[in-house]
Amino acid sequence: EAGVAQSPRYKIIEKRQSVAFWCNPISGHATLYWYQQILGQGPKLLIQFQNNGVVDDSQLPKDRFSAERLKGVDSTLKIQPAKLEDSAVYLCASSPPTSYPRRQGEHTGELFFGEGSRLTVL
Amino acid sequence: DQQVKQNSPSLSVQEGRISILNCDYTNSMFDYFLWYKKYPAEGPTFLISISSIKDKNEDGRFTVFLNKSAKHLSLHIVPSQPGDSAVYFCAATANSGYALNFGKGTSLLVTP
């Protein structure tokens, strides 16, 4: 089974430039997540999609970040304009929840992560 | 604010000994907890999980213990092997959601 695919693996840009990251989840996975992991920190959720609808984007800096998941499969995360503090690894994950919302204490099903896209903003 | 806390940034253990990684949480609505393992330049991979209706879950060399009253969980690795050297993230999820809240991670080094 193919895993979560992400590209590019590495990107270096100057501040105020724009960048886009692409993610292809595991086939059949309805839920897709974008996480930001700054060096020395744990991954932080940016946005969660269920099929092509947004479930949670409360921590997405909407003045500069945008994400879409057209047709409920691939997703793109864009940053425009980039700031120095956006330097991080951007992780895409997918999961196959069988019911939504889930019941209290129910097994959530693990999230499957891609290898990440490392962004350096100079 | 950090709702999942891993207060030990690093841990060094000798091969064959027990590794104990700790995690505390503040959100009483968390009802499912997971541990992820991460090697450099790779994405996190799922290791083991536990529901709030249990206090222990075991999978081979890995056991997770949950103490709800203390809002604390721990991951035990017995015996530790050099291949276990990685960053371990504690994660939790609340209510009806599936998105995970992660701690900062603990870097485990298992020495021969």
Tens of pLDDT along B37-67? 999 989 999 999 998 889 999 999 999 999 9
Q: What is the model's pLDDT at position A18?
A: 97
- A102–B97 CB contact, under 8 Å: yes
Residue A61: closest CA among A41, A43, A36: A36
Bridge partners (DSSP) of residue A113 are A93
Residue type, A60: L
Question: Cβ–Cβ of B43/A4 closer than 8 Å?
Answer: yes
Question: What residues form DSSP beta bridges with A78?
Answer: A20, A66
- The pLDDT confidence band at residue B4, using thresholds 50, 70 and 90, is very high
* pLDDT attached to residue B64: 97
> Angle at the Cα of B56 (from B53 to B60), degrees rounded to 5?
135
Q: How far apart are CA A38 and CA B101, in angstroms?
A: 14
Structure tokens at B82: 């050099």
- Residues of chain B in contact with residue A110, where contact means CB-CB under 8 angstroms, are 34, 46, 49
Percent of chain A topping pLDDT 90: 72
CA atoms within 13 A on the CB side of A64: 14
Q: Which phi and psi (to 5°) does residue A84 adopt? A: -55, -40
- B93, B111 Cβ separation under 8 angstroms: no
User: pLDDT tens digits for A72-106?
Assistant: 899 999 999 999 999 999 999 998 765 656 666 56
Please check the confidence at residue A45 and state whether its pLDDT lies above 70.
Answer: yes
Task: Check residue B97 and give its pLDDT.
Answer: 67
Q: Which two tokens stand for residue A86?
A: 């956006």
pLDDT value of position B72: 97
Amino acid type, B109 = L
Q: What per-residue confidence (pLDDT) applies to A63?
A: 95
pLDDT tens per residue, range B79-88: 999 999 999 9
Which residue of B4, B32, B100 is in closest CB contact with A105? B32
What pLDDT is stored for residue A2 in this prediction?
81
C-alpha distances in Å from residue B49, one per residue of A83, A112, B62, B73? 36, 14, 10, 11
- The 3-state DSSP class for residue A23 equals strand
**CA B39 from chain center: how many Å?**
15
More confident residue, B71 or A31: B71
Nearest-Cα distance to chain B for A34, in Å, is: 10
As a whole number, the mean pLDDT across chain B is 94
B111, B13 Cβ separation under 8 angstroms: yes
What pLDDT sits at residue A98? 58
Is A116:A37 a contact under the CB 8 Å cutoff? yes
pLDDT of residue A51: 85
CB A20 within 8 Å of CB A34:
no
pLDDT at A117: 97
